[in-house]
C-alpha cells in the first residue's frame, strides 16, 4: 500500500513554518526526521542551550530572570530524558526542536532562546561537545584493553614464542614483546582520539546559519561556559562562520580513528585465532568469549575474535560513508549532512563494545607454555644469529647470509636439526665456522644479546614493562595518551 501524502499542520514546524502555506507530507516527515537517532545528543544540546541563554543574559539580550527560568526548564527536561519519561515527536524533526518546543510550553521566555542562533551552529556545537566526550570515553575503554593485555604479558613474562613474517617462523621473541606490539598500536589509537578531541575543542556558537548575527553576542563567553578553552583557560572559538557550519572533518577524523582501531583489533584477533587453533595451540581463549558448534560437539570457536575481525569492516564502512557524503558538497550547509550522524554514532558504539570485548578476551586468556616452548626450540629460528656469528668474525653480511643459507640446505639434505650438522661438514661450507659455532643456538644467550632499544631482550622487556605500567597509570590519573 502506498504511504499517505497527507500534510502536517504548519504549526508543527515552528522553525520554518511561516514561509509555507502547509506542512510537509507525512511521508516527507518520516523520510527527513532525525530525532530517532540524534536524541542521544540531548545532554549536549541542553548544555549548549544553557550556555547560550547565559550569554544572552550576559549581553543584556534577555534578563537574568528569563535565563534562570530557561535553565530550570532545561534541567527538568533533562531529568525526564534521563528517566525515560520524555515524549519524543518525529513531527518536530530533531532533538533540538523537541527540546525547544517542550521548553517553550513550560517557560514562556524560551521563545527567546533561539535568538542569535541557528540549528546549524547549534548542531555543530552539540557534535563538538559529543565528540570530546566520545573521544575521552573510547580512550579509557582502549586503555582498559591495554591493561588487560599488559596483565597477560606479566602473567607470562618468561614465555618465548616464535615471531613470524609471511606467517612463517622467523625469530624468537618473548611473548611480552609480541603483546607490547599490540599495546603500541592501541596507544596510537588513543593518541588519534586525543588529537581529534583537541580539534573539536573550538566553540561554533555564534556562527549562525552561515554569516553570524548582527546582535551583540559574546562568543568567547559562551566558549568558556562550555569548556571550549585551551590549557591556560583561554576561550577558543571557530574563526570562519561558513567553514564552521559546513565542516565535517572532525566526523571523518573520529571515524578514521575508530576504523584504524578496527584494523588493529582485527590483526590482534587474527593472531589469537591462529594461536588458538590445533595447529598452533599456543593459547586457550576463555570459554566466556567462545562458542561451540550446533553439529560438532568438540568445537570451541573463537567467536569474540572473529567478530572483532568482522567489526573492522563495519568501522571502515562508516568512514567511507562519511568521506563520500562530504565529497563535492558546496558551501555551506546542505541537508545531506543530516546523514553524518548514524555512521558516526555507530563507529562510537562499535568501537566501545569492541574495546570491552578485547579486554574481556584477554582477561581469561591462558598460554600453553609447553606448546610455546616446543615451537621456539626450533634451531632454525636462530639462523640470523648464525649469520651474525660470522659477521663478528669479519665475514661480510651478504657472504655470511649465503653461508648460513648453505647450512640450512645441508641440514635439510642430512635430515637433521640445524645445530646438529657435523663440524667437518659445516667447515666445508665456510672456514669461519669454528668449534664454538653451536653456542649460537643457546636460546637464553640469543635473547640476552638483543639489548638495543625496542628489541625483545630481557633488559628491554623489563624497561617496557615499566614504561607501560607508567603510561597506563597516567591514563587512570587523567593523563594524555603518549
- Among residues 4, 22, 277, 293, the one annotated as catalytic is 293
Examine the pLDDT at 482 and tell me if it is beyond 90. Answer: no
Provide the percentage of residues in the chain whose pLDDT is more than 90.
89
Tell me which DSSP letter residue 25 carries.
B
Which one has a higher pLDDT value, 31 or 132? 132
Mean pLDDT of 34-45: 96
Going by C-alpha positions, the residue among 273, 362, 279, 284 that lies closest to residue 309 is: 273
pLDDT of residue 15: 57
pLDDT tens string 421-470: 999 999 999 999 999 999 999 999 999 999 999 999 999 999 999 999 99
Mean pLDDT of 372-388: 97
Examine the pLDDT at 479 and tell me if it is beyond 60. Answer: no
Examine the pLDDT at 71 and tell me if it is beyond 90. Answer: yes
Mean pLDDT of 222-234: 98
pLDDT of residue 2: 44
- Among residues 58, 166, 241, 277, the one annotated as catalytic is 166
Going by C-alpha positions, the residue among 472, 453, 450, 471 that lies closest to residue 463 is: 453
How far apart CA 100 and CA 49 sit, in angstroms, is 9
User: For the chain, percent helix, then strand, then coil, each to nearest 5?
Assistant: 65, 5, 30
pLDDT tens string 242-280: 999 999 999 999 999 999 999 999 999 999 999 999 999
Going by C-alpha positions, the residue among 358, 167, 360, 180 that lies closest to residue 279 is: 167
Examine the pLDDT at 20 and tell me if it is beyond 70. Answer: no
Residue 25 binned pLDDT confidence (cut-offs 50, 70, 90): confident
Q: Which helix (H) or strand (E) holds 284?
A: strand 283-284
What ranges in 215-340 are assigned the alpha helix state H?
219-226, 241-246, 249-276, 303-326
Examine the pLDDT at 172 and tell me if it is beyond 60. Answer: yes
Check if the beta carbon of residue 150 is closer than 8 Å to that of residue 184.
no
What does pTM read for this prediction? Answer: 0.92
To the query of whether residue 293 is one of the catalytic residues in this protein, the response is yes
pLDDT tens string 102-161: 999 999 999 999 999 999 999 999 999 999 999 999 999 999 999 999 999 999 999 999
Amino acid at each position: 500500500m502506498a504511504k499517505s501524502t497527507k500534510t502536517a499542520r504548519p504549526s508543527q514546524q515552528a522553525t520554518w513554518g511561516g514561509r509555507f502555506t502547509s506542512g510537509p507530507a507525512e511521508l516527507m516527515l518520516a523520510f527527513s526526521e532525525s530525532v530517532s537517532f540524534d536524541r542521544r545528543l540531548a545532554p549536549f544540546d541542553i548544555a549548549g542551550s544553557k550556555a547560550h541563554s547565559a550569554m544572552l543574559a550576559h549581553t543584556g539580550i534577555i534578563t537574568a530572570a528569563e535565563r534562570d527560568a530557561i535553565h530550570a526548564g532545561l534541567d527538568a527536561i533533562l531529568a525526564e530524558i534521563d528517566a525515560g519519561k520524555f515524549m519524543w515527536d518525529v513531527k518536530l524533526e530533531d532533538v533540538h526542536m523537541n527540546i525547544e518546543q517542550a521548553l517553550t510550553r513550560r517557560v514562556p521566555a524560551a521563545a527567546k532562546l533561539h535568538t542569535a542562533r541557528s540549528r546549524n551552529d547549534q548542531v555543530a556545537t552539540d557534535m563538538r561537545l559529543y565528540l570530546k566526550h566520545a573521544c575521552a570515553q573510547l580512550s579509557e575503554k582502549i586503555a582498559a584493553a591495554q591493561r588487560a593485555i599488559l596483565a597477560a604479558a606479566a602473567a607470562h613474562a618468561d614465555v618465548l614464542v616464535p615471531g613470524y613474517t609471511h606467517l612463517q617462523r622467523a625469530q624468537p621473541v618473548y611473548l611480552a614483546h609480541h603483546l607490547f606490539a599490540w599495546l603500541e598500536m592501541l596507544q596510537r589509537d588513543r593518541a588519534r582520539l586525543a588529537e581529534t578531541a583537541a580539534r573539536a575543542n573550538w566553540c561554533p556558537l555564534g556562527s549562525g546559519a552561515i554569516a553570524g548575527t548582527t546582535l551583540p553576542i559574546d562568543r568567547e563567553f559562551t566558549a568558556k561556559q562550555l569548556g571550549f578553552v585551551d590549557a591556560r583557560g583561554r576561550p577558543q572559538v571557530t574563526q570562519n562562520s561558513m567553514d564552521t557550519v559546513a565542516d565535517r572533518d572532525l566526523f571523518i577524523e573520529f571515524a578514521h580513528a575508530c576504523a584504524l582501531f578496527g584494523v588493529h583489533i582485527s590483526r590482534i584477533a587474527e593472531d589469537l585465532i591462529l594461536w588458538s587453533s590445533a595447529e598452533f595451540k599456543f593459547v586457550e581463549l576463555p570459554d566466556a568469549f567462545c562458542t561451540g558448534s550446533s553439529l560438532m560437539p568438540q568445537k570451541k570457536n573463537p567467536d569474540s575474535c572473529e567478530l572483532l575481525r568482522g567489526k573492522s569492516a563495519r568501522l571502515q564502512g562508516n568512514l567511507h560513508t562519511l568521506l563520500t557524503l562530504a565529497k563535492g558538497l558546496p558551501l555551506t550547509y546542505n541537508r545531506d549532512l543530516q546523514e553524518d550522524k548514524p555512521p558516526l554514532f555507530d563507529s562510537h558504539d562499535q568501537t566501545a563494545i569492541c574495546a570491552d570485548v578485547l579486554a574481556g578476551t584477554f582477561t581469561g586468556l591462558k598460554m600453553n607454555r609447553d606448546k610455546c616452548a616446543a615451537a621456539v626450540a626450533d634451531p632454525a629460528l636462530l639462523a640470523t644469529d648464525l649469520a651474525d656469528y660470522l659477521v663478528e668474525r669479519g665475514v661480510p653480511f651478504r657472504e655470511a647470509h649465503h653461508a648460513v643459507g648453505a647450512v640450512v640446505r645441508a641440514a635439510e639434505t642430512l635430515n637433521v636439526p640445524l645445530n646438529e650438522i657435523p663440524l667437518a661438514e659445516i667447515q666445508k661450507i665456510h672456514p669461519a665456522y669454528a668449534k664454538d659455532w653451536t653456542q649460537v643456538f643457546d636460546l637464553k644467550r640469543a635473547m640476552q644479546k638483543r639489548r638495543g632499544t625496542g628489541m625483545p631482550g630481557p633488559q628491554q622487556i623489563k624497561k617496557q614493562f615499566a614504561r607501560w605500567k607508567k603510561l597506563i597509570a597516567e591514563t587512570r590519573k587523567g593523563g594524555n595518551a603518549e
